């Protein structure tokens, strides 16, 4: 086996500006666009082009650009503060053929005044957006994405890598009630599910607000999570009681609890999602469950010690790795019967199929090797050596990535080379300075995630307390994302950028906050095109309610005083609704207290004192800067409608007790 070592130095935080350019499509220099040729609003589509939407259209450089904004659910015009689908449809202006494989960028900004942007103003606005400054941001960025880190403590970091020259890129810090073990992002990206075994809890985090919106009823020690391929159900492996809980994604309620055997559980879905296969490490069986009825169909004997499972609908096969015996059991995805066994060596850690569904990578941490199985033959095709305590494998379209926990490097295997008889070469890339095994824990979730363009990965380095961006073909990681003193055990990308959903049709989900006329800016690299269109957004019931209910907040406490950590303080405030004249009820009011920066937060309802007066008890756990927020969402004034009140906290008499007793509603 040919093995190449690339000696690297890790780039510092300033290299992030380069990395950001690589994470998303290339951003060209912006020149003034060509003159606009306005076409009719509706143009009949020319087969085999995509269906023409109803929005505005312009033509530039032989390219027809049409924009459409529609409700994510239902029909009719888009209203402010509701979810919508933004779509650019690109066709050849002459033939009507769809333009495939483009990488458009788009932004929406509420128009100032009544006049549409000139060509020069349009180009200038796009140029400012490309700068990534926090002070110059669109009302709706159609290219945004966030990097999420699952940390060693009870937090999730939400990082915005697109901010340039910012003191911090930390967008949000989600505080959990206990350390997380695993997570699962819903296919529509609306929700992130997080398991917390020590708290016997699974929480649903809203990816718009990055706040926990639900706590799910599950069994003991929920650990591994898996979403069904259609996104309708969440499967939770309860390691503490030998069961699996199936949750309805829409209602957040349990649909079934299935006995599957003791020990740690792993999941795979086969037969186009019709069956769920569940391992139980302390049992000698894999339980096959019907995903429609949630009834067990079969219990497949695989031997005690199953540590990993993966399925390929292409091969109609399910592979199960036994860590104790070193055997991979092959089962048929439809007949549910064992069709073969591949004898390897004890110490197997993980097992995954590549995107093609043909090659199964088996990671052996004890022998420092990776075996590649060929599903077409059911036998080992290659054995790759030279790793250092490998434990995980992930994929892009072009490469397999293997993590070494014994030293700070990742190992790449080119997938196209697996067809050759000779063993493929392995390229080692140093990422960071410390080996992952030096961290406090490594976790279950994937330490790699592909970037939106798919030609590189973001790597979590828990011992370095950082995330690194590596682009395929480069001689070094292109940038570093600091994780602010926390150890990232796993990483995800929440991608909200435009994606090609049909030939020539590029869409993403978006929410615009205010009604009015929006300038929609468009940028394409090849051919280089800059264009601005317009879109009208109507007022929503929430905005109308805000106008009808003029809720006013008046703090009754002195925000300038020095509050002492560890002591209880009464924060009294007054709420009036001058629009309706109706008194505000305590159950309508939400209060959020949080430390900025920091992880501590308290959320709840206040006590009603009468005559519009309310009160909450504030017991800060430590010195620092805290924020007070209140909202009355039912009257059109949700949290964030009123300017936050800053509270300065100094050293108190019983800080340790405050840290122990600080309560509140946490995810």
Q: What is the pLDDT of residues 429-451, one digit of tens each?
A: 999 999 999 999 899 999 999 99
Report the pLDDT averaged over residues 610-633: 91
Give the number of other CB atoms < 10 A from CB of residue 198: 12
Per-residue pLDDT tens digits for 524-576: 988 899 999 999 998 866 555 555 557 889 999 988 788 999 999 999 999 99
The residue among 90, 38, 68 whose CA lies nearest residue 142 is 68
Evaluate if residue 166 carries a pLDDT over 60.
no
Q: Write down the pLDDT at residue 661.
A: 32
More confident residue, 169 or 58: 58
Span 301-307, average pLDDT? 96
Instruction: Give yes or no for residue 26 having a pLDDT over 50.
Output: no
Contact status, residue 265 vs residue 224, Cβ threshold 8 Å: yes
What is the pLDDT at residue 16? Answer: 38
Sequence-separated (6 or more) residues with CB below 8 Å from residue 117: 125, 519, 532
Choosing among 3.20.20.70, 2.60.40.10, 3.40.50.720, 2.30.30.40, the CATH entry for 544-661 is 2.60.40.10
CA 241 centroid distance within chain = 29
Strands 466-471 and 479-482 turn out to be: antiparallel
31-142+500-539: which CATH topology?
A: Immunoglobulin-like (2.60.40)
Per-chain mean pLDDT for the chain: 86
pTM for the predicted model, two decimal places: 0.76
- CA 183, 176, 628, 590 dihedral sign is positive
Q: Give the model's pLDDT for residue 163.
A: 66
pLDDT of residue 539: 81
pLDDT number for residue 562: 83
Q: Where are the domains of the chain?
A: 31-142+500-539, 544-661
Residue range 436-489, pLDDT digits in tens: 999 998 999 999 999 988 889 999 999 999 999 999 988 889 989 989 889 999
643: which residues sit within 8 A by CB, 6+ positions away?
A: none
Query: 365-391: per-residue pLDDT in tens?
Result: 999 999 999 999 999 999 999 999 999
- The answer, yes or no, to whether residue 596 has pLDDT greater than 50, is yes
pLDDT band (50, 70, 90) for residue 132 = low
Neighbour tally for 228: CB within 10 Å: 18
What pLDDT, on the 0 to 100 scale, is given for residue 665? 34
Q: Answer whether 31-142+500-539 and 544-661 agree in fold.
A: yes
Round to whole Å and give the CA distance between 200 and 44. Answer: 56
pLDDT class for 184, splitting at 50, 70, 90? very high
Task: Give the pairing of strands 529-537 and 516-524.
Answer: antiparallel
- 253 has a pLDDT exceeding 90: yes
* Amino acid 172: pLDDT: 82
């Amino acid at each position: 086996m040919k093995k190449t070592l690339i000696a690297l130095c890790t780039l510092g935080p300033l290299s992030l500006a380069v990395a950001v350019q690589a994470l998303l499509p290339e951003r060209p220099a912006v020149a003034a666009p060509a003159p606009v040729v306005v076409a009719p609003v509706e143009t009949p589509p020319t087969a085999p082009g995509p269906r023409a939407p109803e929005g505005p259209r312009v033509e530039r450089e032989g390219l027809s650009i049409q924009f459409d904004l529609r409700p994510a659910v239902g029909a009719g015009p888009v209203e402010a503060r509701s979810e919508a689908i933004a779509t650019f449809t690109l066709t050849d202006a002459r033939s009507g053929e769809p333009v495939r494989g483009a990488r458009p960028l788009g932004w929406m900004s509420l128009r100032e005044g009544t006049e549409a942007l000139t060509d020069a103003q349009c180009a200038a606005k796009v140029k400012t957006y490309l700068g990534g400054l926090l002070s110059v941001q669109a009302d709706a960025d159609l290219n945004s994405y966030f990097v999420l880190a699952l940390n060693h403590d009870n937090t999730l970091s939400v990082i915005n890598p697109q901010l340039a020259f910012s003191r911090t890129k930390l967008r949000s810090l989600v505080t959990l009630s206990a350390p997380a073990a695993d997570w699962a992002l819903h296919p529509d990206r609306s929700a992130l599910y997080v398991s917390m075994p020590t708290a016997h809890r699974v929480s649903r985090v809203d990816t718009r607000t990055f706040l926990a919106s639900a706590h799910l009823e599950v069994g003991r020690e929920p650990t591994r999570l898996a979403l069904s391929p259609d996104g309708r159900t969440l499967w939770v492996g309860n390691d503490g009681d030998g069961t699996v809980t199936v949750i309805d994604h829409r209602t957040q309620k349990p649909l079934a609890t299935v006995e599957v055997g003791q020990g740690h559980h792993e999941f795979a879905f086969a037969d186009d999602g019709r069956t769920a296969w569940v391992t139980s490490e302390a049992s000698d069986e894999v339980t096959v469950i019907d995903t429609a009825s949630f009834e067990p169909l079969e219990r497949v004997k695989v031997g005690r010690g199953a540590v990993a499972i993966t399925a390929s609908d292409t091969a109609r096969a399910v592979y199960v790795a036994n860590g104790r015996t070193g055997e991979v059991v092959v089962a048929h995805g439809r007949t549910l019967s064992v069709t073969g066994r591949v004898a390897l060596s004890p110490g197997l850690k993980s097992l995954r199929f590549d995107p093609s569904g043909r090659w199964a990578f088996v990671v052996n941490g004890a022998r420092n090797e990776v075996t590649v199985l060929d599903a077409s033959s059911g036998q080992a095709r290659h054995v790759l050596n030279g790793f250092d305590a490998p434990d995980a494998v992930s994929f892009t379209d072009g490469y397999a990535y293997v993590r070494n926990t014994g030293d700070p490097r990742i190992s790449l295997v080119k997938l196209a080379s697996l067809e050759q008889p000779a063993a493929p070469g392995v390229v080692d890339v140093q990422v960071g300075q410390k080996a992952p095994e030096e961290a406090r824990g490594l976790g279950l979730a994937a330490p790699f995630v592909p970037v939106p363009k798919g030609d590189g990965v973001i790597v979590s380095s828990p011992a370095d307390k950082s995330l690194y961006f590596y682009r395929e073909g480069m001689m070094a990681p292109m940038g570093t994302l600091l994780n602010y003193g926390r150890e990232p055990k796993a990483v995800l990308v929440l991608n909200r950028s435009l994606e090609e959903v049909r030939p020539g049709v590029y869409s993403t989900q978006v929410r615009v906050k205010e009604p009015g006329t929006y300038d929609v800016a468009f940028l394409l690299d090849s051919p280089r095109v800059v264009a601005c269109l317009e879109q009208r957004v109507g007022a929503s019931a929430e905005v109308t309610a805000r106008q009808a209910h003029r809720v006013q907040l008046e703090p009754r406490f002195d925000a300038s005083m020095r509050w002492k950590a560890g002591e209880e303080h009464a924060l009294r405030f007054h709420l009036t609704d001058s629009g309706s004249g109706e008194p505000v009820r305590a159950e309508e009011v939400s209060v959020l207290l949080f430390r900025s920066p920091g992880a501590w937060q308290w959320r709840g309802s206040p006590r009603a004192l009468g005559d519009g007066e309310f009160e909450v008890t504030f017991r800060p756990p430590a010195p620092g800067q805290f924020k007070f927020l209140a909202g009355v969402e039912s009257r059109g004034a949700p949290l964030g409608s009123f300017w936050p009140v800053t509270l300065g906290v100094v050293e108190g008499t019983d800080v340790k007790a405050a840290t122990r007793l600080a309560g509140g509603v946490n995810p």
